[in-house]
Structure 1
Amino acid sequence: MFRIDAKDIQKLTDNLRKSSKSDYPLAVRGTLNSLAFETSNIAKTKIIPEVFTTRNSYIQGTVGYKRCDNTFNIASMQSFAGQFDVSKGKPTGQLAKQETGSPIIAKGAYTFVATPTARGGSYKKTIRKSNRFSGLEVYKLENLVRTPTKDQRKEIPQAIGYAERHHKTFAVIAHSPLYLRYGIFKILPSGKAGRASMLYSLKDKKTNIKRHEWLRPSASIATAKVEQLYTKEAHKRLEKSLSRGLRRF
């Protein structure tokens, strides 16, 4: 493990303050910028792929860092690492909710929760392309039959009957016969296995999600290198000051 003596850090700081009025603030600013970059880079390349199942690189693309403002006031210096509020013109915030375990509040009446069936048998897997909501042909019973049942336990059997008569595969919003779970079911015609499978559970307007920290562990890994980052910035500032002094002769 790389270690730095605290006395060396103090000596560097003293030298920065003596060399130039701006060297110490610039070294601090550079360290904060490097720390933010390291945190975002660790999050995108290491932590997020380990914690989440990502279908593409979109989520990582919403994570980044912002440099400190160009100020010499150390007390006001602040860099940023995390998920941006807006990415490619679209609002974000999914990862912030995952970090704290904040509830997801639906814009409509329900939140959509993909089941393991939609994901190929496991919550750890991504939603299969054929089961993505955007590509499903979803109906309500009243769109399929003239007289939809009023008995929630008979909604799925009625949908299956329609599929058998029309030899058609589709999705329907209904209640499951066993537990009366409300959701979106894929209905298959007779002769095919799994004739009614719940793809999405329609829960209440608010759904609590399990906490998955990604930013905190990323920052912890980056912060462990802060002395190295500061030392690098300090030497860079001192070398520039020395080169300026040599050019005067």
Structure 2
Amino acid sequence: MKYLHCDSCGHANPLKSEYLTFCDDCGKKLPQTFADWRKTHPMGSFSEYTQQVGISLKADKTNVLLSWMKKQAQPTNRGKVILFFSLFIVLIAVTGTLFGKRAMFTFIYPKVPASSLYNSWQTATIGRQALEISTPVKLWVHDQPLQGEEAKVIEYAKSYRNEDGGGIRIAVNMFSYQGNVANDLEAAVAASHSSMELSETASEMDCKSVPVLISGMKGILEEGNYLYKGGIRLAFCNLVMIKGSSRWQIQINYRDDDQVGHQVAQRILKSVKIK
């Protein structure tokens, strides 16, 4: 199909009839008509006319775009164009501020796949004060050098993390303190908060704390949620246990709206044993 472009409004008129004279859209006379063309091509047919004068739809779209751009560049329309793009930029900026963070953190913190509940889990016994734990992802050694006062009072420290994500973050920390250092449960829970690094990243926190008994040892389980860097709400579990000079801590983070993540976290906590 060939078309005849209207110089007045830019409409593409289908060349269906040799009597096409006026634009179907604006009603103004078209720049070319078959009757005018026949004056210089007395033996020409309508088919030849459409091939010679008509344009394809792709080319017409290009012409329409150019025509529109020329109109917008006119002094009478220039102010409207500037206002439109100014409002558009403001809208993009506001949208990015409101939703950009959430989109980014949603990508960083995907939901835990349902397959995690059915695939085989790994059971690991780790640390000198042996802790047994089952997880859907592998835990890797993540030891960090002790700093400041910790280096003076801790004889042994071990840390494990999962590296492949899977929508859930798991950390296991184990410490053995010198015999003259008090190792009560409340102090252990308070110290665990520093390793969670929530002070600079979390807001609007909601948390509940309950006493637990793991392998005959007293512990505290904290569960709740918080807004992470103003972008996404995360749920967390923080299990702390002590015995003598030893201390264990297990932290789990996942998206607060993730029901599978919640089930996985609860299953991990139930698997914890101290040898």
TM class by smaller structure: under 0.3
Q: Normalising by structure 2, report the TM-score.
A: 0.23
Bigger share in helix: 1
Higher RCO (CA < 8 A, seq sep 6+)? 1
Q: Normalising by structure 1, report the TM-score.
A: 0.25
**Computing the radius of gyration over CA atoms, which structure comes out larger, 1 or 2?**
2
